[in-house]
Structure 1
Amino acid sequence: MKLEIRSSSLLKRLNVHRRYLPIHFEKASQFLVKCQIVEPYVEKGTLHGCICPWEIGESAEEGAFPMVEDFHDTLEAIWVWSYFTKVSHKQNFKPNIDWAWKYIVKNWGRFIGKEKNEDKCLYDCSYVLLSRIFYEKVFNDNKYEKLVTQAGNRLEKYLNTLKSTEGREYYDPFWMSYCLGLAAKSLKQKKWLRNAETFVKKTIVSIENPFSIIEKEPHHVGPGGHDFFSQNANKALALISCLNREKIAKETIFKKFLPCVPKRFVSRHADENAWNAHLATAIGNSYVFTGNEELLYPYFAIMKELEIRDEQKNAALPRSPSFSRRESWVTFFYAHAYTSVINLSN
C-alpha cells in the first residue's frame, strides 16, 4: 500500500527519518559490537554471546567470572546487524552475525533444549523467529531452519493451550503471537498461522474492549524485575502480524487501539525508554498498516524524546533515567521502533 501524507510538516519529518535510517543502524550496530563478549570472560563453548558493556566492566572489577551472557540479547543483535546490511548494502557486521549464530547453535540446549522449562525459553523462541526470518531475507541463508522450526513449534503449542493472557514481559503471549505470525507467513507454516490467528481472534477481536488507556497500564512495583513491554502495544502488533489481510484488523486498530494511544512519551517507574520505544514500534506499524497519518504525531513525539535521551548520539540507550548505563536490549528496542514507520519488512 502506497502511503500518502497530506501534512507537509509530517512528510518532511518522515523524509528526514528515512534519510537517517542507515546512520542510526550503523551506530547501533557499532555499539552492539561492544556487547559481543569473548574469552576469557565467558565459559568455553559460550563465545560471542551478547551482554551489556556495564556488566562486562562490573564483572571484571569484581572478578565475577564466568559471565552470564544473554541468549535473546544476542538474537536482537543479529536482527540489528542484519537490518543494517539490508539498508546499507554493506557487509561490515557479517563476521559478528556469524559469530552470534555460532553462539546460538552451540548454546541452544542451555536455553531452548527440548527438556528446558518455560522460564524465559518462550521469549528466547520468539527472538529466534524474529531474527532468523529477517536474516534469511537479507542473506538468503536457511541453514538454521531446524532451530526455527523447533522454536516455532514451541510457541504454537504454548499459545494453543494457554489458559490465561495475563503474562507480562518475558511471558507476554501477544508478543509471542506477533513473532509467530511473522514467521508463519515468511516460512509458509500454515499450522502456526492458523493457531496464531485463532489466538488473536479469541483474545483481541472477540473482546469488546481489548485495549486500555495506555498511560494507565500496570506499572512494575518494587525493586528488581523489568517493565519493558506495553501489552496494548503487543496486542496491536499481534493483530497486524496475524490478521493483516482481514478487514476486522484494520477496523480494530482504528476504532479501539488509536483512541487509547497517548499523545506523548509516557513516564514509567522502570524501563521507560524501552517501554516507550516498544510502544512507538506498535504505533509505527499501525501507521504503515492503516495509512492513518494521525498516528505519526505520537510516534514522532516519543521518538523525539528518545533521541534527546540518547545523549552520546550513538543510537544506544539506557533503560531509564534512574539506570543510566546503555544496554544492548534497549538499543534493539530503539532500532526496532525506528524502522516501524518505514515500509520495509520488519
Structure 2
Amino acid sequence: MIKYIDSYDFFACQLDNQRCRLLALPWEDVLVAHILPRLPLMQLFDLQRVSKRFRALIRLFFTKRTTFELVGHHVPKVAFFSLVKDNNVLRKLLLESCSSWLTDNDLLPVVSRNPRLQTLDLSGCNGLTRHALVAVSLTCVHLRHLAVARCDFVDGPSLRSLADHCGELRSLDLSGCCRLTDATICYLAKKCVRLTFLSLAVNENITDESVEDVAKNCRGLEHLDLTCCLRVRDVSIRTVAEYCPKLQSLKVKHCHHVTESSLEPLRKRKVLIDVHPPPRRDRLSLAVDCGPYVNIQPLSARLLPSGLNADPLRAHMNGPAKVSDPWKNHPSFPPVMPHLQSPSHLLTLHPSCLVLALRCSSSPSLWSL
C-alpha cells in the first residue's frame, strides 16, 4: 500500500532493481481497485502530469469511481469537470466544497449521466435554483440520502417534486430552508414514509402540525432535528414519543416551548436529547440572612437537664402549655426562639421540642432541616 509520494520519479523508475514496474501491474484489478483509492485527491491530479500513461491511468480511475467526497477541499471548477466528465456510475456525490461556484449548468450534466445516484450533498450551494432540485428528483429516482441545508432555492414546489419521485428517501437534511412551511412538510411526510433521519432545524415556520404528521407517517424515524424551531411545543413531542418507537436521538435546543414533561418519557427510553434535564433538589435548605449556624435535632430524654422530667415537654407537644416552661430560666441554654418556619410556612418548631446547638460564625446562616 502506498501512503505517500515523495516524487514523481518514484513512479517513473523501475522498482526493486528493475524487477517490476508499477504500470505493469493490472490497471483495473490492482491499481484502480486497491492502490489509487488510497492516495489523496491532489496527488492524483499531480500524477496526471508524470506521463501520458499515468494520465490515462488516472482518467480510467475517475471513470470507474463510484464515490466523490469533495469535503474539506476547495475544488476548482476545472478540476471538478476533469473528475466527473466521463463518469456514469456515480453512487455518492458530496459537493459542499463546490458551493462557491456550482450552478445549474455545472450540476445538471453530471446528474443526467448518473441516474443511479443514491447520495447527494448540496449543502450551502446557493448558486443553484429550484430547477436543479427538480431535475435531481426526476432523474435520480433511487435517491436515498439528500442534504440541501442552508439552500435558499429549496421551496414548496421543488420539495413536492422530490416527494413525488423519490419515495425511497431515508435521510433528508432541510436545515435552514426557511421557505418551507407546514403544508410542504406534511406533504413530504405522507410521500416519504421510509425516512429515518430528518432535519427541520432553524425554521420558524415549522409548528406542531408538521412534527405530528412526520411522527404519524414516518414511524421508522430514528433521528429528528428540531433545533431552533421556536413554534414547536410539548404536544408534538409527545406525539413523536408515541408514534416513533425506534427514535434514537432528538434535538430540541432553543425550542423554548418544549419542557421536561414531554422529554422525560423519551429519556426513560434512552433517547439521546441535546437538552440536559433540570437539576433535582435532594434536600431542603432555608437561608437566613443573619445569626449563627443552627443545627436542629430531636430531643431525647437523656439530654434533659437534671431535675426535669418529660411530662412538661409532652404537655407542650400536645398543645398550648399551661404550666411553666422548664427551659425558661435554665442557665445552660440561650434565650429561646418562639417559632421557626419553613419556606412554605407549614412547619412550626417550638423550643420545648428541640435542642438548639449554636455555633457562632460571621458568614450568613443556614438552617438545615
TM-score, normalization: structure 2? Answer: 0.30
Relative contact order higher in (CA < 8 Å, ≥ 6 apart):
1
Query: Could you tell me the TM-score, scaled by structure 1's length?
Result: 0.32
The structure in which a higher percent of residues are strand is 2
